[in-house]
Structure 1
Amino acid sequence: MISVESLTKRYREVTAVEDVSFRCEPGTVTGFLGPNGAGKSTTMRMICGLTPPTSGSSTVKGVPYRRISNPGRHVGVLLDAAAQHAGRTGRETLSLSAQILGVDQSRVGEMLERVRLSPKAARRRVGGYSLGMRQRLGIAQALLGDPSVLILDEPANGLDPEGIFWMRSMLRDFADRGGTVLLSSHLLLEVEAVADRFVVIAGGRIVAQGSKQELLTKPGGVIVRALDPAALQAALAQAELTARPDGQGAFAVDASPEQVGRAAAANGVILLELRQAGGGGLEELFLSLTNPAAATAPVPQEALR
């Protein structure tokens, strides 16, 4: 578990993070989202004990990260894939980490295989790695100590589509086996595909957090489109359902999908589309919450649960 309570970080007159609180439960992937400069990396560095907070606190597995004995055996961290010794090979990098963590050297080969770095790549110096290869090596380091918590900052940067699919599957499997994952990423579709919960930060403050269902299932009726728009409008009016043309041949209706479907069926209207309104997914939510106006506007209480 990761628990963050009122974390704040100020650099003289600049407040990078202000009163940030959230929890990441075992068995879940939490997507930590926000635009560049929103405070994601600063928050993650405070959780990992690399940046001291101005106020507030955080714990990992019930204690501050700095108090965890041999933390790599409990918490896998990847904050900057470029922060690796360029002169060592990939295998040497993991071998040294294994010595520091006190794990068997057999784990080195296992992790290289797990992140799909070939024997040839493992013999190359890290300075010659692509960004995607560095990310795979960084993930291998994070997994080396067989931790129960993962804290990953933009781990998909530089990965090709196959690599992103692999990472998504790996994180889902890790969480499904009881692990806790805090994942920062700007690849919204990938986060939406793997995360159970979202924490959205903008301007250094949390603007929304909750489960995928809480944040992405929005009220507001349905969007419906028919082969004969006039007949559909008449059927909705007959059922006393309020419908508003959307200017593209469809109607926004303040009703449930069942109510609209029954009204259409009762009048023999053929539907081409019937969906929940506000179905733009995580991208729509992200843009609505992180624009400058949203960052300062009051946030609905249900989004802050």
Structure 2
Amino acid sequence: MIDVHDLTKRYRRTLAVDGVGFRCTPGTITGFLGPNGAGKSTTLRMLVGLTPPTSGSATVGGRRYRDLPNPGRTIGVMLDASAQHAGRTGRETLRLAASVLGVPAARADAMLERVGLGAAAAQRVGAYSLGMRQRLGIAQALLGDPSVLVLDEPANGLDPEGIRWMRGLLQEFAAGGGTVLLSSHLLSEVEATVDRLVAIRGGRVVAQGALTELLAGSGVVVRGLDPAGLRAALLSAGLTPTSRPDGALHVDADAAAVGRAAAASGQVLLELRDTERGLENWFFARTTHPSQENAA
């Protein structure tokens, strides 16, 4: 169980994370999404004790990371797969970690096999590809047989076969009662892997819930001959349009309400359709920055 409550981090005049709160329960995989600079990495670092929060709390199994007697036996963490000693072999890396965690050295070899690095165990990490380092990082996160995994961009550098393997591994982990929190920019892979979402923008959570529920009612896409006039018409009707990367507007309403608002103001529509019910469109509709919206 991961429980984040009103978590805040301020760096002098910069508010990096502003009152973030969410919960990840056993048996679930939660995708933690947001554009660059949204506060995802800072939130994860506070969760695993690398960055002290200004206020709020983040606990794993009801305890702060620093209060866990042997953290790696409760929570497996991979925030940067490249943060491995390049001069050590894969086997040396995991056996050293096993010694720190107090688990048998044989488990290091078992984890190397599990992530597909058995044949490369004697190679130095500096010779590993990015995808191999990702696999090594996942092996290290699993080494202590934790009940919780926190992974930042776990699919980065993996080929299609590797991504499919990782998806299966995480789903198997959750099916066994484990809790997974992962951050990724690969939205198609997130959609195929997770069952819950937390979206963050500007340091604040803007949406969270079950994947199926969040993607179920995704509104409409509308485009007009006069974009500024259409936006004003929608706002005056009590609707909230957000800008999409393609220049159209997304509105969390049905087509009839949007059409009536446009007609009442004499706006000529060039496009009005239901939003594709995919994660990419949902993500952009909720994480586009207000300054980008106003510029449209």
Whether the aligned pair in 2 keeps the contact of 1:95 and 1:108 (CA below 8 Å) is: yes
Asked whether 1:287 is paired with 2:288, we answer no
1:167 alignment counterpart: 166
Q: Distance in 1 between matches of 2:116 and 2:186?
A: 21
Helix, strand or coil at the partner of 1:52: coil
Normalised to the residue count of structure 2, the TM-score between the two structures is 0.79
2:146 alignment counterpart: 147
Whether the aligned pair in 1 keeps the contact of 2:218 and 2:282 (CA below 8 Å) is: no
Change (3 A) 1:200 1:294: farther
Q: Distance in 2 between matches of 1:123 and 1:278?
A: 51
Helix, strand or coil at the partner of 1:127: helix
Helix, strand or coil at the partner of 1:81: coil
1:210 alignment counterpart: 209
Work out which of the two has the higher radius of gyration on C-alpha atoms and give 1 or 2: 1
Q: Distance in 1 between matches of 2:179 and 2:291?
A: 29
Whether the aligned pair in 2 keeps the contact of 1:202 and 1:295 (CA below 8 Å) is: no
Q: Distance in 1 between matches of 2:180 and 2:217?
A: 26
Q: 1:278 aligns with which of 254, 275, 279?
A: 275
Shift, 1:124, TM fit: 1.1
Helix, strand or coil at the partner of 2:137: helix
Q: Distance in 1 between matches of 2:71 and 2:99?
A: 14
Q: Distance in 2 between matches of 1:11 and 1:171?
A: 34
Helix, strand or coil at the partner of 2:63: coil
Identity %: 66
TM alignment of 1:67-78, pairs within 5 A: 67-78=67-78
Q: How many residues align?
A: 245
Shift, 1:295, TM fit: 9.3
Q: Distance in 2 between matches of 1:219 and 1:184?
A: 22
Whether the aligned pair in 1 keeps the contact of 2:109 and 2:118 (CA below 8 Å) is: no
Q: Which amino acid aligns with 1:66?
A: R
Q: Distance in 2 between matches of 1:129 and 1:161?
A: 18
Shift, 1:63, TM fit: 0.6
Whether the aligned pair in 1 keeps the contact of 2:218 and 2:276 (CA below 8 Å) is: no
2:251 alignment counterpart: none
Helix, strand or coil at the partner of 1:84: coil
Change (3 A) 1:177 1:87: same
Q: Distance in 2 between matches of 1:7 and 1:192?
A: 26
Helix, strand or coil at the partner of 1:37: coil
Shift, 1:219, TM fit: 6.2
Helix, strand or coil at the partner of 1:166: helix
Q: Deviation per CA, 1:138-181, whole angstroms, max 9, x where unpaired? A: 00000011110000011111000000000000000100110000
Q: Distance in 1 between matches of 2:54 and 2:255?
A: 49
TM alignment of 1:27-106, pairs within 5 A: 27-106=27-106
Normalised to the residue count of structure 1, the TM-score between the two structures is 0.77
Shift, 1:292, TM fit: 1.1
Structure 2: 5+ residue stretches without partners:
221-253, 257-272
Shift, 1:194, TM fit: 1.1
1:181 alignment counterpart: 180
Shift, 1:67, TM fit: 0.4
Q: Distance in 1 between matches of 2:116 and 2:293?
A: 44
Q: Distance in 2 between matches of 1:253 and 1:204?
A: 32
TM alignment of 1:101-112, pairs within 5 A: 101-112=101-112
Structure 1: 5+ residue stretches without partners:
222-251, 255-275, 298-305
Whether the aligned pair in 2 keeps the contact of 1:217 and 1:279 (CA below 8 Å) is: no
Shift, 1:279, TM fit: 3.0
Shift, 1:186, TM fit: 0.5
Shift, 1:278, TM fit: 2.7
Helix, strand or coil at the partner of 1:98: helix
Whether the aligned pair in 2 keeps the contact of 1:148 and 1:179 (CA below 8 Å) is: yes
Q: Which amino acid aligns with 2:67?
A: R
Shift, 1:280, TM fit: 3.2
Q: Distance in 1 between matches of 2:288 and 2:214?
A: 17
Whether the aligned pair in 1 keeps the contact of 2:218 and 2:277 (CA below 8 Å) is: no
Asked whether 1:201 is paired with 2:200, we answer yes
Q: Deviation per CA, 1:239-276, whole angstroms, max 9, x where unpaired? A: xxxxxxxxxxxxx976xxxxxxxxxxxxxxxxxxxxx9
Helix, strand or coil at the partner of 1:280: coil
Whether the aligned pair in 2 keeps the contact of 1:151 and 1:182 (CA below 8 Å) is: yes
Whether the aligned pair in 1 keeps the contact of 2:10 and 2:16 (CA below 8 Å) is: yes
Q: Distance in 1 between matches of 2:22 and 2:48?
A: 15
Helix, strand or coil at the partner of 1:18: strand
